[in-house]
Structure 1
Amino acid sequence: MTDMPPGLMNTMGAAAKAAAQVLATASAEAKTTALNAAADAVWANRAAIIEVNAKDLEFGRNKSLSDAMMDRLMLDESRIQGIVDGLRNVAAQDDPVGAVTEEWTQPSGLHIKRVRTPIGVIGVIYESRPNVTADAGALCLKSGNAVILRGGSESFHSSTAIHACIVEGLEAAGLPAAAVQLVPTRDRAAVKDMLQATDYIDVIVPRGGKGLVGLVQREARVPVFAHLEGICHIYVDGAADLAKTRAVVLNAKTRRTGICGSAECLLIDRRFWDIDGDVVIRDLIKAGVEVRAEGDAQVAGTVPASPEDFGFEFLDMIIAAKIVDGVDAAIAHIRTHGSNHTDAIMTEDDTTADHFFRNLDSAILMRNASTQFADGGEFGMGAEIGIATGKLHARGPVGAVQLTSFKYLVTGDGTTRA
């Protein structure tokens, strides 16, 4: 049994395709106006958004969502301020559409430019986090793409309220309301229809847990930008600075445990362990983290690790830990158990850091910095639509620039080919 209106995705898809044609040639000024007007509307309606968010929180509790998922779902005034700031940050960025990325002249006399163009229609499927409604809508609009949003059932009311503010911004700028559409039903059939909508949707971006992303990657007929899991590692090298390491590890695990940039595995070089002992592990335990330790890393307060704890995305106050013999052992572990999302090294040794960077192929590699920075906003993109770990087209945080393709503009002067 379904409560989806018959032909809903065909109707939304056709409207999105028509809107995409308008957006492809919309002025940078119009898009900026729309985003700033949407930001004004979100702030003006913050009390109403928080009120309907309470309904979503109740729905989430009734579904027995985890604490991490409930944290993702919750909106308060400071988080709404973050949504507003994100909209304004994207508005203030340079418009990527039409930017010349390369330009050259051939011996034949042909002058060639490669310029950025919109992809077309983006489909975004996400769970819990209602702020994705604003982030995805803003980035797609900035990059000249129409978007169809399918938020999680638990964030239905919050996403609907935020979406209404985006539509208000579009209308204020004279842009089509269908440029940013939200699927108006909790029915899961909408997800399947989006994954099959090859006539209308050019790429799907899933943002959520392993179950959702795995489903999308298995069943989509539309191309997908995605990461399956955020299994982020921190390797503490023998040449790591103790004070920096203590601060970074604690932040990477505990700042927000439910995001994909949260550290899930701590690898400690034996040289560091022999000098500074278990201080980093004790910091985590003191902060309330359950440390699942292997071998010599087991100290008072830790829990013995099982093999399944390595390569697992906890999204909770839990971390796996083990001692390794050197950077190559850390690299081997990450290659075996990582998800190519974000991995970090703590070291003051430039040669070791370079070796770590060259020999791992994660979408994001960090040195002496918390993995919690794996975020488009922190990369200066204003916001992100997600993190991509594939190797084609977009990789890492997907911002407005990553939501463009390109075309070649070739100019001759009566030029013919011999």
Structure 2
Amino acid sequence: MRYDVDVLVVGGGIVGLSTAYALTRAQPGLSVTVLEKEPVLAAHQTGRNSGVIHSGVYYRPGSLKARFATAGAAEMVGFCREHGVPYEVTGKLIVATGAAELPRLAALAERGRANGIPVTELDAAGITGYEPEVRGIAGLHVGTTGICDFPAVARRYAELAEEKGAVLRTGTALHAAARRADGVTVQTGGGELRCAVLVNCAGLQSDRLARMTGDDPGVRIVPFRGEYYELAEDSRRLVRGLVYPVPDPAFPFLGVHLTRGVHGDVHVGPNAVPALAREGYDWRTVRPRDVAATAAFPGTWRIARRHWRYELGELHRSLSKRAFTAAVQRLLPAVTAADLVPATAGVRAQAVARDGTLLDDFAFAGYDPDDPASPRRAVHVLNAPSPAATASLPIGREVARRALAALAAGG
């Protein structure tokens, strides 16, 4: 088979672009093309988050999340400094507002230390020393957390990859993919492309692309919309930095938090509600195909049975600004509904197993260099939730390693 390109990366978000960047560094002269269906790069999860460089305090020691986040946070700061991308190492507070949260707060402190992260335990006075308007009975200060402009990081990855010969094709949707023993042929809006290895970094569409190539990893993407407000300009003084509640370990979302961004805005949120389309950024966007696929998947109903009380609360905050304000006031009593202005929503590509388990760690499928029997010619990034942007440099290297091994293995 004659190839148009050695490695075809599908998805122009921060993980796909980091992978292209890593490929061009690891093997100079390799032909790499990135396909992105939107007219611009980083249009979905990368461009619709609160811009936090996560330290790794939340993640199970030894997990890919913990390993990649702790290394990736320091690397991200260095990358931003080197390339002139706006960033700041702010630290953050995790605040307990009730006695029932204290054991979970203590467990977080232990987890942070196990991951090698500097954590300082605080009493109520210590909290107000960092954030005068925030109230809580105990807290943690995590010094290595920061903020940056992740879309600018993604664009810089793209520029660096292009300088080494990578081709970026925006506005080019992939319609079909056929894997054979000697390569993968894809049909796009711009015609046919043949590659030796396909790398799937398609985010919200990643499970569909995996099935197109003949790989069914047994998980489905169930989209959850994260809805944000931001503080009105004259209320931004209420928050100096980053303030988080103690998360519920039964659910892979961090709860409504306060994030001062690199451009001075203060994001408040998100709540997490089921989206009625994979790219459904509001309640008005409904795609019957997406709804039907989500409803037909057994894992969806098992999530609903397991977490319906939690999700009812999220839906209530989505439909009631008063309820959302009350959730924020647990941390920031001085805030009012008038201080909260609707902001851009995001959609999380949450991978879910058939038994209803929400995948908590990064997950890959397709060719695995450590498993000679694994399927050839394709590498899939199936679950890349937060802290994927923080950890995009080490994730990109890992995906590139798998892709290059698949290229070497051939048919």
- State TM-score, norm by structure 2: 0.28
Whichever structure has more strand as a proportion of its residues is 2
Structure label with greater radius of gyration? 1
Specify which structure has the bigger relative contact order, considering alpha-carbon pairs within 8 angstroms and separated by 6 or more residues: 2
- Which structure features the higher share of helix residues? 1
